[in-house]
Amino acid sequence: MSMGRTKCKNIITNVLYSVKRERVSDLMRNTKFPIYIDETCDITNEKWLTFFIRYINFETLNVNSQLVKLINIDAKNSSTEKLFEAFRNKMWNLGVPFLNILALSCDNASVMTRNHESFKQKLECMNRNVITFRCPCHSATLVAAHNVCARIPEYCEEFMKKIANFIHNSPK
């Protein structure tokens, strides 16, 4: 069987995606799950919020991971309020109660984890029992960077900054 690009795209978008979306939203309505949230940019400077879950399939007893949605975010205004609003709207559209969320896993960006006006804090207002896990890789990098910067002589740091500026200002 062969088909053109347009027909294939329409089958995926209008048939397969809607069936899969309904299965995932039904699963999310009927089970508890942790969420993984991260914001990212692509090469076109579009900003995206990844909405990812892990759940136990009780028929097979397997732990499964599922990308629920890549949510497009306005790159000019990606405040905590806008990020959470986009996430909340997606949860409402899927009909998933916030009480089904067990945990939040995210990077250590202040938009996500600071104590006031963060994604974590807004999610905890919707579900007081949510546990937050910060990314251990980001935490280790911050610790290493802090310790390394404290031990590099100032003249070396200044030299590296000048090299970076030279390369940045180079026309090629």
pLDDT band at 88 (very low <50, low <70, confident <90, very high): very high
Domain 5-134 has CATH 3.30.420: yes
pTM: 0.70
pLDDT band at 90 (very low <50, low <70, confident <90, very high): very high
- Domain limits, the chain: 5-134, 136-172
Q: 151, exposed or middle or buried, with CB in 10 Å at 0-12, 13-18, 19+? A: exposed
What pLDDT, in 10s, does the model give residues 2-21? 888 888 888 888 888 888 88
What pLDDT, in 10s, does the model give residues 109-147? 777 877 778 888 899 999 999 988 877 666 666 666 666
